[in-house]
Structures are given as C-alpha cells and as structure tokens.
Amino acid sequence: DVTYKVLLLGDTGVGKTALIRSLTGTEFKANHLTTVGIDFVKKTFDADGALVQLQIWDTAGQERFRSLTKFQYRSTKGLLLVYDVTDRTSFETLGYWLDSIDSELDRNNKEPVPVFIVGNKTDLEESRVVSTQEGKKAAESHYVHGFLETSAKNGHNVSEAFNKLADAI
C-alpha cells in the first residue's frame, strides 16, 4: 500500500481541524478545537481504482504566526489550503501561504505537488463575505489544481475535497 503525507494550511480559525474531524467522523463541536497529542490521522481513499492512504497532518496552532517549519512541509505530497468564506483576511492571506508553500515545495516542475483551495463554512451563508466566484478566480490566478467550498459543520464537500486531493496525487 501507498501512503502519502498531505497537509492542511491556512489561517488560524478557518476550520482545518474541524475538516479533519468531519472527514474522520468525529463529532463536530461548536467550540474552538485544538490539536492535541496527535500529529496526523490516516484514511484510505479509492483513487480511480487504486487504494491510496493519506496521512493527513494538521497544524497545532503554529499557523497563527504564519510560520511553519521545514519539518512540517517535508515529504508533503498534497495540500488543502483553507480559508473561511466569512473572513476576508483569511482569503487575502492565500497568496502569503502559496509563497510559503512554493519556497518549501517545488510546484514549478512537471509533477507539481497538488494544491486545492478550499473555502470553508458555507453553512454560514448569511455571514459570507467571499463569493464563490472570487474563490474560483483566486484558484485560477494562483495556478492551483482546483477549488471547492466546504462546510465542516454539515459535511458539505468534505470527503470530496480529500478525494480530489487523493486523485490528483
């Protein structure tokens, strides 16, 4: 079997931990979730008939300072870059995160590490400040693999996001 390390990145509070919990079936909690004790979770995906195991790494608060270590990036084969559709700052810092990814992982070759931009918290439609169209445009202008919107709260597109990443890898 093949195991690939993938990483969730993006500003603090956008829902990275909640997305992993939603994927793995841990109950969604409305209070702030922190990552304690575990470095990653493993889950197997069917990528076009091939079984692919993703080792899904969360950050444990270091992203608050927008500085991850080389160790955290090492051997990463795919990324979900997450923002919050109700928080414009988290959308505007995508460029910062992509620069950081580019300085650690070479995306300018024939087989670049796939990155998907994920706009989370679609269940909070009444508080949305970043439109779907803006998200799509950002994904195009940054040359990432794809874009989708999710809700860790109601599960919308959560498994799809990880499935697309597994397929791309």
Q: Which of 81, 161, 153, 82 is nearest to 122 (CA)?
A: 153
Provide, rounded to whole angstroms, the least separation between the CB of residue 106 and ligand GDP. Answer: 26
Provide, rounded to whole angstroms, the least separation between the CB of residue 66 and ligand GDP. Answer: 13
Provide, rounded to whole angstroms, the least separation between the CB of residue 78 and ligand GDP. Answer: 18
Q: Rounded distance, CA 78 to CA 76, Å? A: 6
Q: What is the largest CA-CA distance in the chain?
A: 44
Which CB, 14 or 138, lies closer to ligand GDP? 14
The stretch near ligand GDP (CB under 6 A) out of 24-32, 91-99, 110-118, 139-147 is 24-32
The verdict on 16 binding ligand GDP (CB under 6 A) reads yes
The verdict on 17 binding Mg ion (CB under 5 A) reads yes
Pairing relationship of beta strands 50-57 and 40-47 according to DSSP bridges: antiparallel
Evaluate whether 57 touches 74 at the Cβ level (below 8 Å).
no
Environment class of 43 (CB within 10 Å of its CB; exposed 0-12, middle 13-18, buried 19+): middle
Provide, rounded to whole angstroms, the least separation between the CB of residue 74 and ligand GDP. Answer: 21
Among 9, 15, 97, 165, binds ligand GDP (CB under 6 A): 15
Q: Per DSSP, which regions of 16-143 are E strands? A: 40-47, 50-57, 76-84, 115-120
Q: Which residues bind Mg ion (CB under 5 A)?
A: 16-17
Q: Kindly list the residues in this chain that would bind ligand GDP in the complex (CB under 6 A).
A: 12-18, 30-33, 120-121, 123-124, 151-153
